């Protein structure tokens, strides 16, 4: 019997998942296909049955930048990345600067764990209030301070009535790094199971829960190793932790990075963009969530963004993902962000059944779930066609989508129907079956 847990998870600031009580889906629908099961899934099951039999994949390392992973889970243990050059404990055997990083690294650790945190807009508003509250004209702000001024103005617009005092600096008290110095990077600990690791556990299972073991559910990619990188607390992530999490993943061999988080304000955006460029130069694909506000992120940005501040250039190694449902009548998830310039593809993100801590399983919804669907498909492609570059995998995923040729309901529009191409660049839903056929042809 499959173990389950009641879905009481709420939307957690940067963690882009929603409770599942309102949805009833077949638990593996995201692996099914439009042609066979008549649902708008990815066709993964069909791909294994028709395209991949007799072929031997190569293992792909996927970093899960999130709130942590249950490293003891029955469906994940066999597919966890292991740093073979390191040993558990308080020694840095491999010399990479991170002591005991056998399964990954936690940038939210000290002697204990950073768990609860505030929203970024709260942190930014109160940090820069005295510096900017009397500014009448942006021209009066020094050029070096203007990015923080822009973040402060946006943060002020997001204030709620309850935001009357500065939030507690939980991270600063625990981590004790020089936050604005990106070179101060050897902080944290090796414990990946800090609260709220249920989210990262669910994400990890979608990508690479062990297939065919009779436990719970099957991940998308069989030949995968999951690297845990904890950068998201129960609140908004910090830009420095995200930037260093990306760099850690790249430096330790990750070929794909999953980022199921996001926020409206990114005061140290340059740190993250520099890390994305670093991953781009190293040929690492980044898959990130579009967000769950039901808004147009072409006009209201959601960070991390594929667009760089300088020159508004676009990262060539980044796929931004919206969430879709199983049927034509509810194809675009009502909560999903969209944008015909920013969002690349949609992917199943409603009622996605996956792993939760303590050997449990449950469906969750969100762009947090759609993102690892795409990361899993990318890993599947890369494992059978290892010669493909990150840019080529991105190209294949985008060009092989199931094109949506009927009007879809635009989120938070009162039922207004639009073309799918108005909601994402490709106008389609990710299709693993067609992607693998295209990869074969490229060979």
**Which residues, in sequence order, are CB contacts of 322 under 8 Å at separation 6+?**
290, 332, 333, 336, 337, 338, 343, 345, 346, 347, 349, 367, 370, 423, 424
Torsion angle defined by CA atoms of residues 399, 340, 364 and 234, in that order, rounded to the nearest 10 degrees: 120
β-strand pairing of 408-409 with 402-403: unpaired
90 in Cβ contact with 100 (< 8 Å): yes
What pLDDT is recorded for position 3? 39
DSSP 3-state assignment of 282? coil
Integer Cα distance of 155 and 137 in angstroms: 17
Among 118, 266, 326, 368, the one annotated catalytic: 368
Is 151 an annotated catalytic residue?
A: no
Strand order in the sheet with 256-259: 104-106, 224-230, 60-66, 256-259, 285-289, 318-324, 345-348, 428-429, 402-403
Query: What is the pLDDT at residue 309?
Result: 85
Q: Give which of 293, 288, 323, 322 is closest to 307, Cα–Cα.
A: 288
- The arithmetic mean of pLDDT across residues 169-174, rounded, is 96
CA gap 433, 42 in Å, rounded: 7
Q: What is the pLDDT of residues 9-19, one digit of tens each?
A: 334 445 566 65
Among candidate residues 66, 177, 236, 239, the one labeled active-site is: 66
**pLDDT band, residue 26 (cuts 50/70/90):** confident
pLDDT tens digits, residue range 380-425? 999 999 999 999 999 999 999 999 999 999 999 999 999 999 999 9
* pLDDT at residue 16 in the model: 61
Residue 442 banded pLDDT, cuts 50, 70, 90? confident
Instruction: Give me the catalytic one of 199, 236, 239, 383.
Output: 199
Of 316, 252, 314, nearest in space to 286 by CA: 316
What one-character-per-residue DSSP string does 218-243 give?
--S-SSEEEEEEE---BSPPPHHHHH
pLDDT at 357 > cutoff 70:
yes
pLDDT classification of 4: cutoffs 50, 70, 90: very low
- Per-chain mean pLDDT for the chain: 94
Summarize the confidence of residues 229-252 as an average pLDDT. 98
CA–CA dist 374, 14 (Å, integer): 19
**CATH no. for 29-113+187-442:** 3.40.50.200
pLDDT band at 224 (very low <50, low <70, confident <90, very high): very high
Written as six digits, the tokens of 27 are 């638990």
Task: Provide the pLDDT confidence category of residue 25 given band limits of 50, 70 and 90.
Answer: low
CA 99 to CA 233: how far, in whole Å? 21
Instruction: List pLDDT tens digits, range 426-438.
Output: 999 999 999 999 9
Report the percentage of the chain scoring pLDDT > 70.
94
**pTM for this predicted structure:** 0.95
Percentage of the chain exceeding pLDDT 90: 92
DSSP bridge partners of 318? 286
Tens digits of per-residue pLDDT, 115-154? 999 999 999 999 999 999 999 999 999 999 999 999 999 9
CB 304 within 8 A of CB 272: yes
pLDDT reported for residue 18 = 61
Mean pLDDT of 283-308: 97
Strand 352-356 with 360-364, pairing: antiparallel
Q: Is residue 281 predicted with pLDDT exceeding 90?
A: yes
Over residues 33-80, the pLDDT tens digits come to 999 999 999 999 999 999 999 999 999 999 999 999 999 999 999 999
Secondary structure element (H or E) that encloses residue 443, with its range: none
Burial of 163 (0-12, 13-18, 19+ CB in 10 A): middle
Query: Is there a contact between 155 and 265 (Cβ–Cβ < 8 Å)?
Result: yes
What's the pLDDT score for residue 19? 54
Q: Parallel, antiparallel, or unpaired for β 224-230 and 285-289?
A: unpaired
pLDDT above 70: residue 274? yes
Q: What is the DSSP secondary-structure string of 178-216?
A: -TT-TT----SBS----SSHHHHHHHHHHHHPPTTSSSS
Position 173 pLDDT exceeds 90: yes
Burial 264-292 (b: 16+ CB within 10 A, else e): bbbbbbbbbbebbbebbeeebbbbbbbbb
Sorted by where each begins, the domain ranges of the chain are 29-113+187-442
Q: Which two tokens stand for residue 3?
A: 């173990």
Q: How many CB atoms lie within 10 A of CB 434?
A: 20
* 327 a catalytic residue: no
pLDDT digits (tens, 9 = 90+) for 93-107: 999 999 999 999 999
* Catalytic residue list contains 199: yes
Cβ atoms 63, 372 nearer than 8 A: no
Query: Which has the closest alpha carbon to 430: 14, 66, 33, 19?
Result: 33
Q: How far apart are CA 425 and CA 427, in angstroms?
A: 6
């Amino acid at each position: 019997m499959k173990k389950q847990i009641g879905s009481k998870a709420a939307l957690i600031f940067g963690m882009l998942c929603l409770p599942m009580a309102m949805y009833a889906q077949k638990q593996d629908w995201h692996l099914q296909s439009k042609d066979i099961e008549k649902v708008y899934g990815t066709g993964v099951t069909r791909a294994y049955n028709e395209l991949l039999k007799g072929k031997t994949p190569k293992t792909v390392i996927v970093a899960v930048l999130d709130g942590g992973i249950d490293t003891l889970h029955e469906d994940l243990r066999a597919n966890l990345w292991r740093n073979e050059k390191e040993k558990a404990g308080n020694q840095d055997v491999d010399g990479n600067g991170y002591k005991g990083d056998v399964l990954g690294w936690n940038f939210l650790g000290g002697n204990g764990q950073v768990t609860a945190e505030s929203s970024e807009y709260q942190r930014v508003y109160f940090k820069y209030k005295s510096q900017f509250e009397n500014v009448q004209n942006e021209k009066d702000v020094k050029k070096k301070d203007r990015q923080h001024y822009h973040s402060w103005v946006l943060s002020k617009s997001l204030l709620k009535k309850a935001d009357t005092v500065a939030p507690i600096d939980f991270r600063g008290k625990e981590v004790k790094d020089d936050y604005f110095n990106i070179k101060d990077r050897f902080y944290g600990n090796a414990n990946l199971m800090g609260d709220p690791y249920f989210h990262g556990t669910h994400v990890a299972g979608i990508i690479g829960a062990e297939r065919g073991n009779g436990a719970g559910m099957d991940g998308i990619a069989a030949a995968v190793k999951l690297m845990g990188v904890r950068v998201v607390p129960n609140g908004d992530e910090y830009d420095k932790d995200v930037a260093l999490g990306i760099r850690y993943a790249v430096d330790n061999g990750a070929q794909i990075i999953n980022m199921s988080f996001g926020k409206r304000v990114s005061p140290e955006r340059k740190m993250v963009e520099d890390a994305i460029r670093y991953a781009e130069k190293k040929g690492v694909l980044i898959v990130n969530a579009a967000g769950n506000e039901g808004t147009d992120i072409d006009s209201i940005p959601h960070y991390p963004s594929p667009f760089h501040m300088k020159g508004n250039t676009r990262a060539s190694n980044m796929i931004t993902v919206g969430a879709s449902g199983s049927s034509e009548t509810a194809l675009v998830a009502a909560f999903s962000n969209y944008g015909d310039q920013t969002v690349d593809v949609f992917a199943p993100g409603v009622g996605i059944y996956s792993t939760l801590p303590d050997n449990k399983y449950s469906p969750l919804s969100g762009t947090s779930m759609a993102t690892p669907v795409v990361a899993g498909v990318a890993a599947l492609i890369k494992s059978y066609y290892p010669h493909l570059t990150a840019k080529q995998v991105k190209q294949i995923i985008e060009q092989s989508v199931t094109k949506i040729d009927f009007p879809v309901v635009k989120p938070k529009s009162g039922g207004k129907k639009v073309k799918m191409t108005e909601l994402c660049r490709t106008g389609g839903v990710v299709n693993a079956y067609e992607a693998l056929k295209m990869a074969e042809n490229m060979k």
